[in-house]
Structure 1
């Protein structure tokens, strides 16, 4: 009796035929209107539920809120992949016009924190992205620019191999709360020195006027006021430090958040946390609850309490609240700043990538993104805070 033996080359051939057959069974549809998206709401949300990554910034709620901006809605390009009639992947992008360039980028830029593709876990990311490749290349863009691709997501491995990295690699700290049975157990994992320092800082504030912490949910009428107030505080801090933020320019983020806050029951919930010293707010943090994960989107603090490290103090209350709410995971988002790393040792790599599609796109990538922009950024960040703030304020006035 002879036993059939499959060699490695035969196995590879079989795998290739299976992959080819899989591609033949799939189809791509480019959604370009709100109506197109609305027609696929149920399938989109089913895909969200089954996708292996928590892509809150590509959720149906985020996508619809983004389209409240008419300029974004006019340039919508959502690449949806179907296996027969079932949606198995969605990559929400848009064409951004910038200095004569047409840039294919994340739909919710500059508000989204990750670029990601929703993908059914039964499909291989590289196969789906190879299928999408000609469609991405033929939308009339000069360059594909995907910002903040996170390690562990559906885009990460493919983008690492086939796209060009630009800018600096950063990190997104995260915390898996299911490792501990309670908040008290979790605190034991923090160094005794850190616990002592924070305890002493909190005790000093407790003795003078007391500390209190509260959670503000999406149904609370105060939520919008608190978020809008924190946006103003954050904008003032960015300006005073001499930094820049595309997300805080104009009132786009404000309008987006107001639209998102109306999307109740969508599976993506706005939530805020506030720490007070007596009646004085000293730190505010807010973000999104999505698929048992809290995404810590923005923080603001009272500058009068800077010596007490209000952000670090408040983070302890936020983590304790997440335990009480039954949240499984916290994503602190980038950057991997020191106060975040006080509370976790886990960091996911995050990077930006480009793929030029035209001569202008190649020039933009090579001259600006890969060379001049990093040099300019290093120069500005090396300046003392005062001169840096003056320079950025002057540039802002010049460009309007």
Structure 2
């Protein structure tokens, strides 16, 4: 159905959990119909669970924008209002945990220009100082809607993924690896198997051990962060493990949260929490036994996960944003990602012209060069430092 450009869609902002739960069926139906392939972090399950865990303290308030034509939900943009240091920011709902900023848009009901105009009107009505979208992927529906927003200087990023659609089977995938890749893969598996027979499985939220193993996976990741002196704004927020353990998933539908588990004998040596939507897999958190790091259990698990995805008809293995050498060795495709910001007040103009492009990057650069003794002292303040550098 095509609307004339002059026809206004009915806009409404959902700001409470009750209002959001009331549109659950329409939200999920829009997810299924949405043409945007990178929309998991705008799914009802992700957003609603995040609100339940993190929006009870008053610092994060849901601001979910909906556009309707009659009874049909045409577009939905999950945002939130974050208040800190006297500044009100309009951000992607779920940040810093949501990896991609996005909007769900039903094609054919209105032009992109019309939807963008009405979305901008609702953004201005938020009474925030600034809107900040930290990971807008090129070519998505949201990238069209915010084309007029300024790109923050120095925020160029990429999302790395392995296109699995070219492989008809695991054997086909293996055959196309280089000789060195095959040799390294076999060597890693053989060395790890000295600890005991390797057993790999993918479990879903209805599995008795899912919640326990998700928490163990995050603890493995926390140790890696500590050992490598890295900061993570997402891990600094209390309740993160509880949130992840409550995410839904459906094995029969091949949709939602799932956990890859690799054991050597009876010992869990590596895991990966991922999400599947529309045959697209997001590798969200990987963890491995740090004491076995020289045996590369994480790489063995990744290789087995890729094989499982191919066997189950998944089309992409997405390693998400922030380039890294290991990602380059695993992937064959990338998408450009940028941060977009729009000042909505004089405070917002200072934030977008000074803090985002200059002050914040300088602080992150400085933190990466502090002496080891200062690093030990700063460990006590790690949660505060993480959130400060994320703002």
**CA-to-partner distance for each residue in 1:336-373, whole Å, 9 max, x for gaps?**
32223222210112222211111111112222211011
Q: What TM-score results when the alignment is normalised by the length of structure 1?
A: 0.87
Offset at 1:300?
A: 0.6
Match in the other structure for 2:102:
116
Offset at 1:68?
A: 0.8
- Matches of 1:97 and 1:242, distance apart in 2: 28
Offset at 1:71?
A: 3.6
Tell me the number of residue pairs that the alignment of Structure 1 and Structure 2 aligns: 381
Identify if the C-alpha distance between structure 1 residues 38 and 85 changes in structure 2 by more than 3 Å, giving closer, same or farther.
same
Report 1:121-132 matches (<5 A).
121-122=107-108, 123-132=110-119
Identify if the C-alpha distance between structure 1 residues 231 and 207 changes in structure 2 by more than 3 Å, giving closer, same or farther.
closer
Offset at 1:210?
A: 3.2
Identify if the C-alpha distance between structure 1 residues 258 and 286 changes in structure 2 by more than 3 Å, giving closer, same or farther.
closer
- Matches of 2:306 and 2:361, distance apart in 1: 35
Q: What TM-score results when the alignment is normalised by the length of structure 2?
A: 0.88
CA contact (8 A) 1:93 1:107 kept: yes
Out of 53, 58, 61, the position equivalent to 2:45 is 61
Identify if the C-alpha distance between structure 1 residues 212 and 196 changes in structure 2 by more than 3 Å, giving closer, same or farther.
same
CA contact (8 A) 2:236 2:382 kept: no
Identify if the C-alpha distance between structure 1 residues 208 and 377 changes in structure 2 by more than 3 Å, giving closer, same or farther.
same
Match in the other structure for 1:195:
182
**CA-to-partner distance for each residue in 1:290-349, whole Å, 9 max, x for gaps?**
222221110011112222232222211000111223323222212232223222210112
Are residues 1:148 and 2:135 paired?
Answer: yes
Are residues 1:324 and 2:348 paired?
Answer: no
Are residues 1:87 and 2:60 paired?
Answer: no
Out of 33, 41, 45, the position equivalent to 2:16 is 33
**CA-to-partner distance for each residue in 1:25-46, whole Å, 9 max, x for gaps?**
4221111222222232222122
What secondary structure, in the 3-state scheme, does the structure 1 residue paired with 2:246 have?
A: helix
Match in the other structure for 2:35:
52
Are residues 1:250 and 2:237 paired?
Answer: yes
Identify if the C-alpha distance between structure 1 residues 101 and 397 changes in structure 2 by more than 3 Å, giving closer, same or farther.
closer
Offset at 1:222?
A: 0.4
Out of 70, 88, 94, the position equivalent to 1:102 is 88
- Matches of 1:299 and 1:138, distance apart in 2: 40
CA contact (8 A) 2:215 2:245 kept: no
Gaps of 5+ in 2: none
CA contact (8 A) 1:53 1:153 kept: yes
Offset at 1:390?
A: 2.5
Offset at 1:236?
A: 2.6
Q: CA RMSD in A?
A: 2.7
Match in the other structure for 1:312:
299
Match in the other structure for 1:7:
none
Match in the other structure for 2:267:
280
CA contact (8 A) 1:286 1:299 kept: yes
Gaps of 5+ in 1: 1-17
What secondary structure, in the 3-state scheme, does the structure 2 residue paired with 1:75 have?
A: strand
CA contact (8 A) 2:130 2:341 kept: yes
| Bigger mean CA deviation after superposition, 136-145 or 308-317 | 308-317
Match in the other structure for 1:218:
205
Offset at 1:148?
A: 1.1
CA contact (8 A) 1:242 1:388 kept: no
Match in the other structure for 1:335:
322
Q: Which structure shows the bigger proportion of residues in helix conformation?
A: 1
Match in the other structure for 1:3:
none
Match in the other structure for 2:163:
176
**CA-to-partner distance for each residue in 1:249-281, whole Å, 9 max, x for gaps?**
132322322432499999852211122223322
Offset at 1:286?
A: 1.0
